[in-house]
Amino acid sequence: MTGKPKLALYWAASCGGCEIAVLGIDERILKVAEAFDIVFWPCVLDGKVRSIEKMADKEIELCLFNGAIRTSEQEYMARLLRQKSKVLVAFGSCAHEGCIPGLGNVATREEIFQISYHDTPSTVNPEGTRPQAETEVAEGTLYLPHFYDTVKTLGQTVEVDYYLPGCPPEPERIWDALTAILTGALPPPGAVIGAQTTVCDECPRTREEKKIKEFKRTWEIIPDPEVCLLEQGIICCGIATRAGCGALCPTVGSPCIGCYGPNEGVQDFGARMMTALASVIDSDDPQEIESIISRGIPDPIGSFYRFSLAHGQLRRCALPLEADTLDATKAA
C-alpha cells in the first residue's frame, strides 16, 4: 500500500458515458494514477464492495460518483461511499440532477415494469415474469435490489461536497476539477464546479432582442447558420444552461438541450426556461398565447426538464392516487 490519497469512482443509474468521459482526459489519466491510489472503479478495475465496507470512515480522499439513485442498491452504495469518503463529488448530470434516468419520474415503477417486461415489441414473456424483490428457491430466499418509484439525485440522497455538471462533463472541465481538488483550490462545499454564466456566452451565433410568435420543432425549419436559434423559434436551452461545453450543439445547428444544468443559484431549471420563453411570446391575447404554447411545445417536460426533472422543485409527475406503490404517508 502506498501513502497516496485514495480515489474511488462509482457508477449508479447512468449510461456509462461519464466513465468514458473520465478517460477523455487522455494521458493525463496517468497523472491521476500517479497522484491517487485508485481503490474502487468497477468499470475499469476489479474491486470489492466488501473491502470498501471494511474501510474506516473518510478513508477515501475523493469519490467521483456518477449516476442517479434509482434502486436500493444504488442508494446503499451512495451512503457507503459517502461514509467512507472525505470529498464526495456528484459527477455528471445524473448524479447532479437526475438527467435522462430522472425522466423516469414521469411514470411509476408499475408503469415502467409494464412497459419493460410486457409491452415493448421486442419482449417475449408469455409467463408474465417480473423481477421480484424476493424469490424463494430451494436454497433459501434470493433478493434483488428494490426498484424505486422516484429517481433521486445523489444530493437528495446523501450530502454532496461538489457537483460537476454535464452529460457527460467535458474532459477539460474534468481536468479543471481534478486539478482544483489536487491543488486544494476548491470553492466552498456544496458548490457546482463550473462556469457562472450560460451557454449563450460561448455561442458564436448573433443575438438580437427576442420576440417569438411560433415555437418550432427542429425538423420544421433549416435554421439560419448565423442567427440565434431561439430567435428562429427553436427551443434552445442555451439561455438557461450553464456554460462549460463550448456551445457544442448550437454551434453545429442543433439547439442546446440543457445537459449542463442550470446556472449558479438556480433552483429549478425548467422554471427558468418557462419564464424566459413565456416572457418573449409575441402576443397579448390569452387564446393566441395558449395556442402558441400548446402547438409549439407538445412535451413541456421533455423540453424544459430533459435533464433536471428529478432535481426540480416538483421532482416528478404526480403519482396516481390509487397506485399501490404509495407509501402510507400519502393517504394520511
Partner 1 sequence: MSDTFEPKIVAFLCNWCSYRAADLAGTSRIKYEPNVRIIRVMCSGRVDPTFVLKAFSLGADGVMIAGCHPGECHYLEQNYKAMRRYYMLRHTLRSMGMEDDRLRLQWASAAEGVQLAAAINEMIEQVRALGPLNWSANWHENGRRLEALGRLAQEHAEAMEVPA
Partner 2 sequence: MAEKVGVYICHCGSNIAGMVDVEGLARWAGANLEDVTVARDYKFMCSSLGQELIEEDIKKEGLTRVVVGACSPHLHEKTFRKACANAGLNPYLMQMASLREQISWVSSDKDKATEKAKALISGAVRRVIEQEELFASEAPVNPNTLVVGGGVTGIQAALELADAGYHVYLVEREPSIGGHMAQFDKTFPTLDCSACILTPKMSDVGQHESITLLSYAEVEEVTGYVGNFHARIRKRARSVKEADCTGCGVCIEKCPKKVIDDVFEAGLGYRKAIYRPFPQAVPKYPVIDREACTYYLKGTCKACEKFCPTNAIDFEQQDSFLDLDVGNVILATGFDMFDSTRLPQYGYGRLANVFSNLEFERMCNAAGPTDGKVVLRDGVTTPESIAIVHCVGSRDKKHNPYCSAVCCMAALKFGHLAIEKTGAQVYSFYIDMRTPHKNYEEFYDRLLAEGMQFVRGRVAEVTDAARLPGEEGKLIVQSEDTLAGRQRRTPVDMVVLMGALEPRHDARETALKFGISCSMNGWFTERHPKLDPVATMTDGVFIAGVCQGPKDIPDSVAQGAAAAARVMAMITKGTVLIEPVVATIHEENCSGCRICNNLCPYNAITFLEDKGVSYVNAALCKGCGTCVAACPAQAISGAHFSNEQIFSEIEGLLYDAISGNGAGHKVEPAGVPA
Q: Which residues bind partner 2 (CB under 8 A)?
A: 53, 76, 79-80, 82-83, 155-159, 196-201, 207-211, 228, 230, 238-240, 243, 262-267, 272-273, 275-276, 279-280, 329
What is the distance in angstroms between the CA of the first residue and the CA of the last residue of the chain?
54
326 binds partner 1 (CB under 8 A): yes
In angstroms, give the least distance from the CB of 237 to partner 2: 8
Nearest residue to 213 via CA among 300, 290, 281 = 281
Asked whether position 57 contacts partner 1 by CB under 8 A, the answer is no
Could you say which of partner 2, partner 1, none residue 217 binds, taking C-beta under 5 to 8 angstroms by partner kind?
Answer: none
DSSP 3-state of 64:
strand
Q: Which member of 148, 163, 260, 307 binds partner 1 (CB under 8 A)?
A: 148
What is the 8-class DSSP label of residue 13?
B
CB atoms within 10 A of CB 110: 14
Nearer to partner 1, 21 or 100 (CB): 100
CB nearer to partner 2: give 140 or 265: 265
- Cβ of 104: how many Cβ atoms within 10 Å? 23
The 3-state DSSP class for residue 248 equals: helix
Q: Which residues contact 275 (CB under 8 A, 6 or more apart)?
A: none
Rounded Cα distance, 185 and 193, in Å: 11
Q: Using CB under 8 A, which residues numbered 227 to 286 contact partner 1?
A: 267-268, 270-272, 274-275, 277-279, 281, 283-284, 286
Distances (CA, A) of 174 to 48, 151, 164, 245, 263: 26, 25, 8, 11, 18
Dist CA 98 CA 70 (whole Å): 9
Q: Which does residue 201 bind out of partner 2, partner 1, none, counting CB within 5 to 8 angstroms by kind?
A: partner 2
Our finding on whether 72 is near partner 1 (CB under 8 A) is yes
Q: Least distance to partner 1 from the beta carbon of 332, Å?
A: 8
Residues near partner 1 (CB under 8 A): 48-50, 53, 72-73, 75-76, 79, 133, 143, 145-146, 148-150, 152, 267-268, 270-272, 274-275, 277-279, 281, 283-284, 286, 289-290, 293-294, 297, 299-301, 304, 312-320, 325-330
